Amino acid sequence: MKTATIGIVLSDFHKEIAEEMLSEAKKTSQELGLEVLEVKRVTGAYDIPLPLQRMLANPLINGAVVLGAVVQGETSHDEIVAFTSAQKITELSLKYDKPVGYGISGPRMTLEQAKARAKEFSVRAVEAVARML
């Protein structure tokens, strides 16, 4: 049986959280028998859709995982980023008929909450893709 392959798009705006998320996603992928073919790093969650689109267009990639943390600041910027990104990510999954595991925490999340949930969000995102493949 052929091993399923995935790509990961990582928002590394919060570098410490991002590194933990990437490490957990890779570990979970290996445990579930998924091969990570490609990892793309972007500055923020809003930047995820374009590299995700390119990744999903690759016939060698069966699915993808998006990771990051959208932390609340003094304005509602976090909500705009999170909602817009989620909508575009969903549209790309449907357009390419490939599963995308959503591992982006937030909006309305503190930095402490994002740190505490980094592992959980990463593991769940990879598990979601594995189940859909």
Please give the DSSP secondary-structure letter assigned to residue 76.
S
Tell me the two tokens of residue 28: 């979970």
The reported pTM is: 0.95
pLDDT at 1 over 70: no
pLDDT at 2 over 80: no
Query: Tens digit of pLDDT for each residue in 84-104?
Result: 999 999 999 999 999 999 999
Between CA 39 and CA 86, with CA 76 as vertex, the angle to 5 degrees is 35
Active site residues: 77
- For the domain made up of 5-132, the CATH class stated in words is alpha beta
Region 46-67: mean pLDDT is 98
Query: Tens digit of pLDDT for each residue in 15-43?
Result: 999 999 999 999 999 999 999 999 999 99
Rounded to whole angstroms, the Cα distance separating 28 from 15 reads 20
